[in-house]
Chain A
């Protein structure tokens, strides 16, 4: 295994891969600094552009975008009190007050140091847990894979608090759209309406760019203008990084919370950062200082956010089950490069090790660039929307076109853009659609295989222990809200926690 790691390291630090790493980091930082545009936008827009690259270069670049964008989101949160993305809502609460108190540099340093620490913790977990999950995955059959897919979809639907039914409807709709093309078992054409362009299914890049990138930029266009007031960060960034080292308990606690949120399907960076903030506040000796520029109030969500990002990749790479909407796009990128996540990914020689090293290097690259350029990068918010919006739309069009060279893909992108805009504005949970779309073929193929094994019977789903356990968990999770009142006395709820968590719904649905 050591020689695989060395081989992976050698490939990851090759000239072209380092250039892609740097380009991805810069792209992620720039997009992250723009308010309202987060990792989902950055990764979905870049995905079609990586089509011509080797698989390892593409994944390294996307990993760099993923990590740096999540950190870049914090720049807008700290300097202009506007979350750069869904994962940076909690960073506003203590980050902006720190900036207002003249400690903007310190806040940026804590943000970059905390994000780096979180990314490292997430990476260590990815490397440590993946072999065990892979060993477990090898014991899993089609019935178990099918049940895990159903569990992931169910969890994501239920996590859309109050919108569970909408989540299930959208998840099912995503599944249906994934069936356009050919049946995975018999290769019979279906739902193509006679169009040869749909024989291979809906193009992944066009769908994701249309669903995620286009609505966000259209909304940006509706808002118009640009940010004129921005707090300057003058020095103190290094001091902020040193501050991170003074709170190891906070770092470790938030780090593990982020990993847990990442590994669990449906819980994303917004949940991780907000809950890390709440836990840190409860554990603090002076909780009243939170919201007024407390260092831990900024550090905890930053660590949790980045450890969750990397933790999200664990089920994606090992089981082929995306942990969140962003990793669903990651998984789509892997599929675009002919790699099926799961056993197939780990059987590609040194590729997984190259990717792991690339993810580690991505943490270092955004850390270094963030240290030196954070204050300057934040000025990107001054670009007028009137210039930014058409630039991004042009990139969306060329990105969608570039995969297959068909104008129909641009048409599909526009149609999905209208659909995505309507869903975002009516607060339907878009990540459920993404997960359904990405998991569609996996679910159906494993369902059919399990049926073949059971000779047409559904018994394998309940007679195989693994499948039965997952089925019980899924049913239990659905039934729990109705069973809970019978067993547990109603406790006085923490209204503050509810209010804070309620903001997740609005942000996650963006």
Chain B
């Protein structure tokens, strides 16, 4: 990924003018050189059989944990929900779904925490810090004010 970005940046520096492109060109060139050095070094070590560390098997998530893939997938869904139905409701839904997926099913704790957290954040950010909390485009489409 770093290689792709560096190569992309290096290529783009030729189209943005001499001054603006010079330093990024040096830096991206340096990064690409370092990547080549790193890869060549790894190959040489592998060929020589020196200090070949067995790749440690990545530990799976604990039984009551949540794998990083599911965590990020849930986070992406949360982001989409914020955009569509607003911050307040999506926070409550997320705060119920996430513990549920982590096998914590004590609704007497989960639901109050979800509601209180959403309310506190909406109040603190909206009324104290005067920050516009996302209302959700769905409500705006129907001419309503979301939460």
Interface, chain A (partner B; CB < 8 A): 49, 52, 165-166, 168-170, 172-173, 175-176, 179, 183, 185-186, 188, 190-191, 218-219, 221-225, 384-387, 389-391, 393-395, 397-398, 401-402, 405, 407, 410-411, 414, 417-419, 421, 425, 443-444, 447-448
Q: Which residues of A contact B28 (CB under 8 A)?
A: 172, 176
The answer to whether B66 has its CB under 8 Å from any CB of chain A is yes
- In the complex, which of the residues A52, A186, A411 contacts B79, with contact meaning CB atoms closer than 8 Å? A411
Least CB distance from B103 to A in Å reads 7
CB contact between B129 and one of A173, A391, A402 (< 8 Å): that residue: A402
Number of A-B contacts (CB under 8 A): 169
The answer to whether B117 touches A169 (Cβ under 8 A) is: no
CB within 8 A of B121: which of A52, A191, A223, A398? Answer: A398
Q: Is B16 part of the binding interface, using a Cβ–Cβ cutoff of 8 Å? A: yes
CB 8 Å contact bits of B81-121 with A (1 = contact, 0 = none):
01100010001001100110011100001100100010001
B17 touches A224 (CB 8 A): no
Whether the pair B87, A398 counts as a contact (CB closer than 8 A) is: yes
Question: In the complex, what distance in Å separates the CA atom of A215 from the CA atom of B1?
Answer: 18
Beta-carbon contact of A172 and B75 below 8 Å:
no
A59 to chain B, nearest CB (A): 17
Whether B125 pairs with A398 at a CB distance below 8 angstroms is yes
Do B20 and A387 touch (CB < 8 A)?
no
B121/A407 in contact, CB under 8 A: no
Rounded to whole Å, the gap between the CB of A198 and the closest CB of chain B is 13
Instruction: Please report whether the interface of chain B is mostly helix, strand, loop or mixed according to DSSP.
Output: helix
Distance (Å) between the CB of A318 and the closest chain B CB? 25
- Are B17 and A186 in contact, CB atoms less than 8 angstroms apart? yes
Contact indicator B65/A190 (Cβ below 8 Å):
no
A414 touches B75 (CB 8 A): yes
Closest residue to B28 on the A side, CB-wise?
Answer: A176
Q: Tell me if A172 and B27 are in contact (CB < 8 A).
A: yes
Residues of B6-37 contacting chain A, CB below 8 A: 6, 9, 12-13, 16-17, 19-24, 27-28, 30-31, 34-35, 37
Closest residue of chain B to A177 (Cβ to Cβ) is B5
- A165-B38, A172-B34 are contacts. A390–B95 as well, Cβ < 8 Å? yes
Known contacts A385-B64, A387-B113, then 7 further A-B pairs from the complex at CB < 8 Å, ordered by chain A residue = A173-B2, A179-B9, A190-B12, A223-B65, A225-B65, A405-B132, A448-B22
By CB atoms of chain B within 10 A, which of A222, A223, A225, A418 has the most? A222
Is there an interface contact between A414 and B79, defined as CB atoms closer than 8 Å?
Answer: yes
